[in-house]
Amino acid sequence: MTQEIQDLVNKGKMLPLMEEFYTIQGEGYHKGTAAYFVRIGGCDVGCHWCDVKESWIAALHPPTETEKIVENATRYSDTIVVTGGEPLMWDMTELTQQLKAKGMQVHIETSGAYELSGKWDWICLSPKKMKLPTQGVYDKANELKTIIYNKDDFRFAEEQAAKVNPDCILYMQPEWSKRDKMIPEIVDYVMANPKWKVSLQTHKYLNIP
């Protein structure tokens, strides 16, 4: 990468784009909503059960002009979901400004491990034990999506729920490979603790991206 391109990436005028696609939001509060997903490469959180490990190495994904990403996204939907990887590794100010200028609803899915940048209509925080969220993301999160892989994740979920703002919607979502084992436990837990809601990866049941 040339220094000129690196400078543009640092400013958020180019971003390491892994993929972009139009689909149905499958998880959390906005499930069932048509949305255009922008997946940004680069992540150092390292979840062992991550289903997009190919997103981790930013250098594998070509820096793409933010203006071009916006042009593609706004052809399909007024709801744009920025995901990763971990998108907050990069400055999201330019991308969100351009999308908001086009009248888009702009959502982010993040582990919260980096400081919040950009202007967002919806922040889905999915914290990970390996690298905890920054306070700024806890304060602004609209939904908390905790992934339940084993019994200890219920404890972790409660720790995270204590840190988010009081208006944040709380979700427990089974890790896909453990869904048959963990769904009954999640159902029991949510029924006993109704401040929580159940989230499922409905896009996988629908066999869509």
Q: What's the pLDDT tens digit per position in 170-196?
A: 999 999 999 999 999 999 999 999 999
Least confident among 4-13, 80-89, 185-194 = 4-13
Let me know if domain 3-206 sits in CATH 1.10.10.10.
no
Question: Would you state the pLDDT for residue 200?
Answer: 96
Q: What's the pLDDT tens digit per position in 19-52?
A: 999 999 999 999 999 999 999 999 999 887 787 8
Task: Give which of 18, 123, 39 is closest to 83, Cα–Cα.
Answer: 39
Question: Would you state the pLDDT for residue 5?
Answer: 87
User: pTM of the predicted model, to two decimals?
Assistant: 0.95
Question: Would you state the pLDDT for residue 69?
Answer: 97
Question: Would you state the pLDDT for residue 46?
Answer: 84
Q: For 153, what's the count of Cα atoms within 13 Å in the CB-facing half-sphere?
A: 21
Residue indicated by tokens 């995901």: 83
- Let me know: does 110 contact 35? Beta carbons within 8 Å: no
Task: List helix spans (H) across the chain.
Answer: 3-10, 66-73, 93-101, 135-140, 152-161, 179-192, 202-206
Partnered with residue 169 across adjacent β-strands are 143
Q: What tokens were used for 65?
A: 């002009």
Please provide the average confidence, as pLDDT, over all residues in the chain: 95
Phi, psi of 29 (to 5 degrees): -60, -40
Question: Would you state the pLDDT for residue 75?
Answer: 94
CA distances to 40, 70, 125, 192, 202 from 161, rounded to whole Å, are 27, 33, 11, 16, 23
Q: What's the pLDDT tens digit per position in 132-177?
A: 999 999 999 999 999 999 999 999 999 999 999 999 999 999 999 9
